[in-house]
Structure 1
Amino acid sequence: MAFPLIWMLLASFKTTPEISAVPIQWLPQEWNLDNFIAVANSIPIGRMIFNSVFITVVSTFLKVMLGLACAYALVFVDIPFKNVAFMIVLFTLLIPGQITIIPNYVLVAGLDWTNTYLGIILPGLASAFGTFLFRQQFMQVPRSLLEAAELDGAGHLRRLFRVVVPISVPTIAAVTLVTVVGEWNEYLWPSLVAKSPDLMTLPVGLTHLQDLEGIQNWGVLLAATTLLTLPMLAIFLILQRRLVAGLTAGAVTG
């Protein structure tokens, strides 16, 4: 699994003849940033990095907050037909995202949100996956804690953020990590909504770079791919334990 990533990183410092050399030349003759400089000269890479970070952070925050609120209501708020509502949430997991592309695009275009951050972020905020994991975790929280907080005068928001959230940190970390990776790597929807390079994210910008440089300029393409891949790889390596703990929370009951 590590070999393609190592090859990508090493090749981003090589020239095209070095990448194509037979037998394989593992290390570049000279360690320089020429390929990365070529990326910066071809596309507005700084702006694309900002777009990816901004969209990922905002989308992840809103998705996690909506998932927490929805799961809290499904578990701790006495509302009619909440089990039916949960089944509907689960049913949405069966619907491929590609099916919703056309109606979402028609809606965004009708609101004149194409080529805007709103058009990229808002249509994908609902997270059935996050709601499901949060609900499973919240089912393990003792109701006596919530009842004690209610007796102390805590409202729903205080109960959620002062009682439920601190207990559910591993699950929140897991959902956050999965959401961050998904948002960072999202390609199809941003490619449809973003019309100008100044609004493109890194995955879309990589395709734009390939159109400009051609598919044979491997050094430049792999340098851009390295910029796209390494941030998420580092985050995953740091948080992998919380990911496993969060995804397995609530999976075993006594």
Structure 2
Amino acid sequence: MSASQSASARRARFKPAHLLGHAVLPLVGLVLMYPLVFMVMAGFFTKQEFMATVIHAFPIPKEPTLRNFRALFEGTTDAAVAEYFRNSLLRTVYTTFWAILTSFLGGYVFARLRFKGRDQLFLLLLATQMIPMTIAIIPTYLEFARFPFMGGNDIFTGGKGILDTWWVYLIGGPAINIMGTFLVKQSLEKVPIELDEAAKVDGAGTLRLLFQILFPLQLPIMAFISITTALNVWNDFVTPFFYTNSDHLQTLPSAITRLSSVGAGPGASANYPLIITLSLGITIPALLIFFFFQKYIVQGLANTGIKG
């Protein structure tokens, strides 16, 4: 095809809608990026200047400071930011690990094993996903408060249970990941059962079958589960806010809420530039995870056979 023919073909394929799309998409991108830009610019304010300034669409401080950004990594007297960040990171890694493990084992049980009431139990687990999380807050609180042989509790008298302890994260976090179990089950059902039988004939035990043969086949699903779980736990506000009280147990989302109530006395105000900067510290890791691993989310859902 000659150059003139190629140019004619491109002109024939071009439609006015393409020009409109190229014009609208950058505008939509700017609108979506605006909150992030505002948070970065507000982080350069001091508390005093922020309160004395009329905030415009793009706030520019007269005396910019890096104090709030240093606090994000080093901590300050206003907040043990490094400790909050550490708690968020440890909880995210710990819960994500258990989500991967329980999802894979649960999916294997429902996809491969045969036992009475299997399908009914699976439907019951799926039905629990229809219960709004807010309804479970009070029952979960009572469950933690009455946890036996913890916090002064025994089988007869009450106490505080595991409330305001690390056990809230260690016990309350690694529950069965029902959605992950469903995805693994859907994916394993597409793997021929003959693969399991051939592995057993070759002398593979159950653990080897699970973790050396079947698990590598589920890596896209595991990536999807780990990414979505990590994002949910990293942004989780409910668990630390309702079930813990000590400052050293707070994560970044709950710490921001506590900081916003600081200085409630007469004439006092919260340190909003610091709060906004801490919010930025929560947002950026989540954006980076989604940006670099979004293909695994699509690939993981595609491997389950779910169409959306």
Residue number in structure 1 paired with 2:44: 13
Of the three residues 137, 145, 161, the one matched with 1:109 is: 145
How do 1:91-130 and structure 2 match up within 5 A? Answer: 91-111=127-147, 112-124=161-173, 125-130=175-180
Cα deviation, residue 15, structure 1: 4.1
Cα deviation, residue 35, structure 1: 2.0
Q: Secondary structure at the match of 2:76?
A: helix
Cα deviation, residue 73, structure 1: 0.6
Of the three residues 62, 68, 79, the one matched with 1:35 is: 68
Which stretch shows the higher mean deviation, 113-122 or 8-17?
8-17
How do 1:206-225 and structure 2 match up within 5 A? Answer: 206-212=256-262, 217-225=271-279
How do 1:193-232 and structure 2 match up within 5 A? Answer: 193-212=243-262, 217-232=271-286
Of the three residues 148, 152, 155, the one matched with 2:205 is: 155
Which stretch shows the higher mean deviation, 137-146 or 85-94?
137-146
- Asked whether 1:80 is paired with 2:116, we answer yes
Residue number in structure 2 paired with 1:191: 241
Q: In structure 2, what is the Cα distance between the partners aligned to 1:98 and 1:118?
A: 21
Deviations for 1:49-95, whole angstroms, at most 9, x for unmatched residues?
11111111111111221111111011112222221121112111111
Residue number in structure 1 paired with 2:8: none
Q: In structure 1, what is the Cα distance between the partners aligned to 2:64 and 2:224?
A: 37
Q: In structure 2, what is the Cα distance between the partners aligned to 1:108 and 1:18?
A: 41
Q: Is the 8 A contact 1:120 1:193 kept in 2?
A: no
Which stretch shows the higher mean deviation, 170-179 or 37-46?
37-46
Q: Secondary structure at the match of 1:175?
A: helix
Distance 1:25 1:2, change over 3 A: closer
Q: Percent identity?
A: 30
Distance 1:99 1:25, change over 3 A: closer
Cα deviation, residue 157, structure 1: 2.1
Which stretch shows the higher mean deviation, 10-19 or 48-57?
10-19
Which has the higher relative contact order, 1 or 2, with Cα contacts under 8 A spaced 6 or more apart? Answer: 1
What's the Cα RMSD here?
Answer: 2.3
Q: Secondary structure at the match of 2:262?
A: helix
Work out which of the two has the higher radius of gyration on C-alpha atoms and give 1 or 2: 2
Q: In structure 2, what is the Cα distance between the partners aligned to 1:9 and 1:25?
A: 10
Q: Secondary structure at the match of 1:126?
A: coil
List alignment gaps of at least 5 residues for structure 2.
1-31, 148-160
Distance 1:119 1:176, change over 3 A: same
Which amino acid letter does the alignment assign opposite residue 2 of structure 1? M
Cα deviation, residue 194, structure 1: 1.3
Q: Secondary structure at the match of 2:114?
A: coil
Q: In structure 2, what is the Cα distance between the partners aligned to 1:103 and 1:48?
A: 26
Q: Is the 8 A contact 1:18 1:25 kept in 2?
A: no
Q: Is the 8 A contact 1:210 1:221 kept in 2?
A: yes
Q: Secondary structure at the match of 1:113?
A: coil
Q: In structure 1, what is the Cα distance between the partners aligned to 2:166 and 2:95?
A: 10
Residue number in structure 1 paired with 2:228: 178
Q: In structure 2, what is the Cα distance between the partners aligned to 1:216 and 1:192?
A: 21
TM-score by length of 1: 0.90
Cα deviation, residue 40, structure 1: 2.2
Cα deviation, residue 218, structure 1: 2.8
Aligned length: 253
TM-score by length of 2: 0.75
